[in-house]
């Protein structure tokens, strides 16, 4: 991307940012330009010269630069994009950034503790990022609604698990799920926001909060809890969630595709196959846990919920059955509505891909800024740049007929078309996003055969980087011709 186009998107995105100094505002925009041009490069390589590199380091070291201000400006723009859609998905998840290999970096937290082969304990140090990504129901990421980057306390400080069961949710790490839920509802006003979370968010306090806020949620269940209790200590006429859902009538079935998964140290290899799953749904009362720390202080309500149970009843031998138990406070009264919620939960994988872009593509864990606060500012900026490149990867799949001028400047798409088709007719209209993305992917090495499938993120940003070089070369050639003439 050339400088003109970059300033267009970054200046528009941060037109209302206020870091307390216009020079800091301009520096933020320039950093977004540089990181977009070279997303996989370290800071010194992304910047043009030593002077610009020093300015970038000073920006991340400046205590006046507030990550919250950078993110809130972007979140407001995300809300504007979301308002064009009737329903959006606010997908929450947590990822951990490991900086253990940088022993001189200060201000980090303990992100894991594992037993090693030759040592009793292994400590990893880094930062925890809890993000909430806005996604359309077709799967297009619109931006971040909230993000918290923090250094976790040590395990000894957090205390034993048995004691933490008596700690209020406000004092636990899991409170971040409730905070993001509230922030997403506050940011987006004109669209229905459905918060989607994985099994870590299967917490009574989260569902209680969503009930109080009247906020739609969709969470995968992890606990086979007792439901429909008539009193706190009821022992009769109670049933477990899984048993209750198995007793519900079969609403219908459909076939899904299960992709191939390579063998890793944590998982065995899984072969691609087709699976037929049955769908059941039913309403139930979610009761407060008996040992909830607030039971003596207030009357905790029962929350009316719906469950959707997806099960592969006849899996092949030596294969794990497909099984999902989804909890929602949205209305589910038909097979079609249940399938819609399942499709929405499938889009939760978008945030996993977003984290992959940050870690594998942008290589943010290689950054050596030397302190957790500086890394937090750096990760905030890189998250916004990562969202944009991730969005460009997917927009050709969700809105292929849109004109590419919304993503590319006139200079860029003309250079791209000239390179790809050897055509120089200035009267021809700009190509569609689908065509432009296909050309960019070709520059990145995508062959475009029928068996290849759509281009991935890494292939696209390789092509994008080459397009940047081509546009810069064309600009320099034009300047040289003008000076010679």
Query: How far is residue 327 from each of residues 202, 250, 306, measured CA to CA in Å?
Result: 9, 17, 6
Q: 265 by DSSP, 3-state: which?
A: coil
Distance (Å, whole) CA 361 – CA 374: 20
Distance (Å, whole) CA 384 – CA 362: 12
Distance (Å, whole) CA 191 – CA 135: 12
As a dihedral over the C-alpha atoms of residue 344, residue 345, residue 350, residue 352, rounded to 10 degrees, the angle is 170
Query: How far is residue 14 from each of residues 11, 149, 414, measured CA to CA in Å?
Result: 5, 20, 27
CB 242 within 8 A of CB 211: no
Q: Which tokens in the block code for residue 395?
A: 């927009």
In the chain, what's the furthest Cα-to-Cα distance?
94
Distance (Å, whole) CA 217 – CA 346: 14
**What element of type H or E holds 327?**
strand 323-328
Q: 449 by DSSP, 3-state: which?
A: coil
Alpha helices in 372-456 (DSSP H): 372-398, 410-421, 433-443
The residue among 392, 408, 384, 403 whose CA lies nearest residue 460 is: 392
**Strands 141-150, 192-197: parallel, antiparallel or unpaired by DSSP?**
unpaired
Q: What is the pTM of this model?
A: 0.87
Q: Which tokens in the block code for residue 331?
A: 């209305």
Q: Which tokens in the block code for residue 277?
A: 């799953």
The residue among 310, 303, 315 whose CA lies nearest residue 340 is: 310
**DSSP characters over 15-43:** TT---SSHHHHHHHHHHHHHHHHSTTS-H
Residue 155 pLDDT: 62
Residue 8 pLDDT: 58
Burial of 353 per CB tally in 10 Å (0-12, 13-18, 19+) = middle
Buried b or exposed e, range 406-417, using 16+ CB within 10 angstroms: ebbbebbbbbbb
Each residue's pLDDT expressed in tens, for the chain with a length of 485 residues: 333 343 458 888 999 999 999 999 999 999 998 888 777 788 888 888 889 899 999 999 999 999 999 999 999 999 999 999 999 999 999 999 999 888 889 999 988 766 666 666 667 899 999 999 999 999 999 999 999 999 987 665 555 555 566 788 888 889 999 999 999 999 998 899 999 999 999 999 999 999 999 999 999 999 899 898 887 666 677 789 999 999 999 999 988 888 777 777 667 777 788 889 999 999 999 998 888 888 778 888 999 999 999 999 888 887 888 899 999 999 999 999 999 999 999 999 999 999 998 998 888 999 989 899 999 999 999 999 999 888 888 887 777 788 887 777 788 888 888 888 877 776 778 888 888 888 888 888 888 887 777 787 778 877 877 887 888 788 788 776 666 55
Gap between the terminal Cα atoms of the chain: 27
Residue 314 pLDDT: 87
Residue 352 pLDDT: 94
Residue 6 pLDDT: 39
Distance of CA 75 to the CA centre of its chain: 13
Burial of 354 per CB tally in 10 Å (0-12, 13-18, 19+) = buried
Residue 82 pLDDT: 94
The residue among 13, 192, 169, 179 whose CA lies nearest residue 92 is: 179
Q: Which tokens in the block code for residue 186?
A: 């506050």
**What element of type H or E holds 111?**
strand 109-114
The residue among 276, 222, 286 whose CA lies nearest residue 250 is: 276
Cβ count within 10 A of residue 143: 23
Give me the residues paired with residue 89 across strands.
135, 194
Main-chain dihedrals φ then ψ at residue 191, nearest 5 degrees: -130, 155
CB 19 within 8 A of CB 64: yes
Residue 158 pLDDT: 55
Buried b or exposed e, range 242-266, using 16+ CB within 10 angstroms: bebbeebeebeeeeeeeeeeeeeee
């Amino acid at each position: 991307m050339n400088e003109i186009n970059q300033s267009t998107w970054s200046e528009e995105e941060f037109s209302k940012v206020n870091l307390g100094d216009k020079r800091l505002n301009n520096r933020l925009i320039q950093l977004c330009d540089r990181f977009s041009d070279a997303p996989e490069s370290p800071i010194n390589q992304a910047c043009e010269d030593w002077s610009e590199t020093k300015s970038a380091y000073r920006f991340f070291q400046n205590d006046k630069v507030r990550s919250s201000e950078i993110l809130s400006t972007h979140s407001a723009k995300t809300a504007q994009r979301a308002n064009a859609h009737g329903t959006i998905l606010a997908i929450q998840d947590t990822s951990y950034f490991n900086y253990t290999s940088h022993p001189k970096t200060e201000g980090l937290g303990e992100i894991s503790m594992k037993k090693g082969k030759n040592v009793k304990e292994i400590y990893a140090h880094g930062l925890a990022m809890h993000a909430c990504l806005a996604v359309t129901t077709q799967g297009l990421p619109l931006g971040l609604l909230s993000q918290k980057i923090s250094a976790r306390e040590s395990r000894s400080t957090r205390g034993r698990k048995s004691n933490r069961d008596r700690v209020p949710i406000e004092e636990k790490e899991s409170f971040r799920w409730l905070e993001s839920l509230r922030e997403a509802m506050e940011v987006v006003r004109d669209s229905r926001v459905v918060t989607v979370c994985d099994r870590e968010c299967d917490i009574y306090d989260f569902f209680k909060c969503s009930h109080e806020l009247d906020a739609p949620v969709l969470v995968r269940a992890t606990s086979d809890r007792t439901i429909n209790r008539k009193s706190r200590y009821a022992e009769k006429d109670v049933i477990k969630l899984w048993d209750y859902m198995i007793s519900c009538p079969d609403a219908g079935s459909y076939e899904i595709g299960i992709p191939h998964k390579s063998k890793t140290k944590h998982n065995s290899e899984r072969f691609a196959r087709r699976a037929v799953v049955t769908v059941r749904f039913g309403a139930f009362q979610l009761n407060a846990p008996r040992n909830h720390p607030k039971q003596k202080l207030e009357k905790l309500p029962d929350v009316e919920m719906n469950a959707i149970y997806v099960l592969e009843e006849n899996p092949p031998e030596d294969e794990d059955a497909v099984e999902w138990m989804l909890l929602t406070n949205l209305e589910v009264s038909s097979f079609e509505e249940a399938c819609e919620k399942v499709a929405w939960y499938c889009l939760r994988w978008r945030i996993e891909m977003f984290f992959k872009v940050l870690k594998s593509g942008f290589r943010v864990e290689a950054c050596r800024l030397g302190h957790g606060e500086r890394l937090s500012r750096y990760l905030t900026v890189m998250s916004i740049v990562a969202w944009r490149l991730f969005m460009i990867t997917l927009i050709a799949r969700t809105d292929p007929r849109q004109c590419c001028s919304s993503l590319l400047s006139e200079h860029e798409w003309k250079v791209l078309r000239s390179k790809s088709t050897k055509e120089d007719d200035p009267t021809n209209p700009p190509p569609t996003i689908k065509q432009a993305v296909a050309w960019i992917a070709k520059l990145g090495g995508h062959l475009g055969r029928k068996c290849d499938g759509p281009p991935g993120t890494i292939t696209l940003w390789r092509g994008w980087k080459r397009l940047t070089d081509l546009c810069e070369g064309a600009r320099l050639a034009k300047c040289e011709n003008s000076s010679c003439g």
